[in-house]
Structure 1
Amino acid sequence: MGRPKAELVLTTEEKAELQRLARRRNVGVVVAERARIILECGKGLENIQVAERLGITNQTVGKWRKRFIDSRLDGLSDDFRSGRPRSVSDRDVEKIVDTTLHKDPKAATHWSSRMLAEQLGVSPTAVQRVWRAFGLQPHRTESFSLSKDPYFVEKVRDVVGLYMSPPDNALVLCVDEKSQMQALERSQPLLPMQPTHPDRRTATYSRNGTTSLFAALDIATGRVIGKTFRRHRASEFIRFLGEIDSAVPADLELHLVLDNYATHKTPEVKRWLLRHPRFHMHFTPTSSSWLNLVESFFSIVERRVTKRGNHQSVTALEKDIRVFLDDHNSDPRPFVWKKTADQILDSLKRYTAKVGALRAEKAKRGSKAK
């Protein structure tokens, strides 16, 4: 017959809470199962009957019945487990972070986990854990260039204003050229992708010429007016302006966002613009190509056409570019600019202040070392 089980009686509040725990998914599968065990036991069932209903062992039911009777709802939680003692102290963490940020290795440009571990007398795994916790990645580097354009603020407000509040009865086009697109042919056949293996290609190739893609991105619709030219001069740029002029209805004003490349400002271009007064040019600040949304489109072209392409001639490359443009324009997506000019300028202000403070701190540390 076995030993008699302690009587388990649920209060109204306990029953409601257990039902809530049994239904809730975000409390975890284990806690929900324990709640269901107690609810079944509260119906007056024996342990073996509850075990059969829930598909668990009799011992599991007995354990949580006893825990609930002893501690009620608090008994459904797991006991505290001390676990393994920490092998890295707070002082070690502080040394790892401080050394990574403020000191350079003796004979290298940046720290590796093994180098820093040897320097501080900790394990490489400990260094990696601390780096992950604090978001430190010494192996990575990013490039930047601050514009020295004296009219930087005015140009940022002008371009961003066009993106966020375009003029009525006008079209805003982001214009630029992706020059020197190479038709590369791999020296050996490609090995296609297989399960567990990506496609493989040789590192050697032959160059079969170059072309330039002139593109005008309509940010409102995502459609692109594109044309390839073998050369990249003011004459080709004027021909592309003619392509834009013929592609856009004559009743719309045209506002073009473009960079400060020399071919955009030649006397020939200026004379052409005088004959076509509906064209309005808006130049981005120097060293600020990120302000021109067509650069995002060029990155898509590079990923999908040229980076992994294999072209035996420039003609083949230009054909693939045209196919891509047609496919893109068949289902375009708008390019949405989200940051206001004030947000951009405030972010740049904070960044320059931070860089200035870091430089001052580094100079101060260097003078103390001397």
Structure 2
Amino acid sequence: MPVAAARPIVLRAAERERLKKMAYGHKTEHRLRMRAQVVLHAARGRGNARIARETGLHLDTVRCWRGRFAEHGLAGLTDRERSGRPPSFTALQVAEAKALACRLPAETGAPLARWSCPELAAELAARGITGPISASTVRRWLKDDALKPWQHHSWIFITVPDFRAKAERVLDLYARTWQGVPLGEDEYVISADEKTSIQARCRCHPTLAPGQARAMRVNHTYGRGGALAYLAAYDVHQATVSGRCEPTTGIDPFMNLVAQVMSREPYASAKRVFWIVDNGSSHRGQKAAGRLTKAFPNAVMVHTPVHASWLNQVEIYFSVVQRKVVTPNDFTDLAQVGDRLRAFEDRYNATAQPFQWKFTTSDLDDLLARLDRHTADRQEQSSAALTA
């Protein structure tokens, strides 16, 4: 009986590129890698017998995938749907498992803070909803609806009545406006705060630099060399930072930072310098504002709303410091920490650009409107539950 001639394979550029990624990709499944190699060999005009010898596959296997690609292209290299064995669990059991995952464990009497897949599997079996079930099966069910009961996010409601007014003042200053009047060339906006408890952790073994296929290695065991506070004043529009290290935070350390900034030009002779601060104990309330103005008459303190430190741009700078200077923490003593922070200030000021602050008063109004709607919905649900 004559053997059928091998199907000719002609590849387009896009198909060839895709097949090469499949054939030589480290994350490609072995079965897909071999199928792609069969097609690439066939596109070079090689016969099925030769391909079988070079790939180590059976001749019939080579003939199969060569023919499947010739008929269906790349889609032909995937497995066809199979009926498989009947499902072990019903749709009702799956729905009840998801419903349980969407309830707080405390509501069900379980002494847990959050559900995990093993805990859910054990609870389903204990309640008789299912028989013995694996955690991986539960995880697969939850994945279908993007349910992750083991995760949590914190939130807080805005409760201060003057939130919008205080937030609007800060946002207007970022837009170079104060009480509806544009700021002049000799008026500046400073965002200031403290980054507390920066430790000096001296690793018991030297940190190893990264190498080929190896990340930087930092020894877990360390000795404590103390901690300091890093105070920084960030000029919002000039993108310059003035910082200092202090043993701790407080009124005096903060005023030392203010004096360091306000004694220099252009701030010493400026018409006004606005200091945006949060409600920390070092600069809280009208007493702090009066203390600042008494020491420097051209300085104006502006507080962010309570629980709104995210409006303070210096927090963005602190996040940069955390990523680029503090982590991983490997310092012999506090003097080295201070030297590194001061050196980074010089490096940052040489190239920094103002942050692209995009949250405006319009965005603030949208946020407050969404929160109001959410609060109203919660109140309606609570009222309905009480009257039910």
TM-score by length of 1: 0.70
Aligned match of 1:149 in 144, 160, 176? 160
Tell me, what secondary structure is at the counterpart of 1:102? coil
Paired residue total = 347
- Tell me if 1:160 matches 2:171: yes
Counterpart residue type for residue 81 of structure 2? R
Aligned partners of 1:48 and 1:58 also within 8 Å: yes
Which is further off, 47-56 or 151-160? 47-56
Q: Distance in 2 between matches of 1:231 and 1:21?
A: 62
* 2:22 is the counterpart of 1:22: no
Change (3 A) 1:118 1:359: farther
Stretches of structure 2 that go unaligned for 5 or more consecutive residues are 24-31, 126-132, 178-182, 209-213
Give the distance between the partners of 2:104 and 2:195, measured in 1 at CA: 41
Paired residue for 2:94? 93
One-letter amino acid of the structure 1 residue matched with residue 326 of structure 2: V
1:305 pairs with 2:326:
yes
Structure-2 separation of matches of 1:28 and 1:124? 31
Cα deviation for residue 118 of structure 1 reads: 1.5
CA deviations over 1:34-87 (Å, ceiling 9, x no partner): 77677677xxx8656888999998656643565578x57699454523145544
Instruction: Please state if 1:287 is matched with 2:298.
Output: no
* Deviation of the 1:226 alpha carbon: 0.7
Match of 1:127 in 2: 138
Measured at CA, do residues 136 and 46 of structure 1 come closer, stay the same or move farther in structure 2, by a change above 3 Å? closer
Query: For each residue in 1:174-211, what CA deviation from the matched residue of structure 2 results, as whole angstroms up to 9, or x when unmatched?
Result: 112234x365667xx62445779751125x857x5x64
CA RMSD, Structure 1 to Structure 2 (Å): 4.5
Q: 1:243 to 1:102 in 2, by over 3 A?
A: same
3-state DSSP class of the match of 1:243?
helix
Separation in 2 of the partners of 1:4 and 1:115? 59
Question: Contact 1:38–1:68 at 8 Å: present in 2 too?
Answer: no
For 2:75 and 2:292, the matched residues in 1 are separated by 81
The residue number in structure 1 matching 2:115 is 111
Structure 1 residue 340 and structure 2 residue 357: aligned?
no
The structure, 1 or 2, with the larger RCO (C-alpha pairs under 8 Å, 6+ apart) is 1
Q: Alignment identity in percent?
A: 23
DSSP 3-state at the match of 2:263: helix
Range with bigger deviation, 102-111 or 31-40: 31-40
Q: 1:117–1:125: structure 2 CA closer, same or farther, 3 Å change rule?
A: same
Task: Return the letter of the residue paired with 1:257.
Answer: I
Q: How does 1:197-236 map to 2 (within 5 A)?
A: 198-201=218-221, 205=224, 208=226, 211-220=228-237, 222-230=239-247, 232-236=249-253
Find the counterpart in structure 1 of residue 273 from structure 2: 254
TM-score scaled by length of structure 2: 0.68
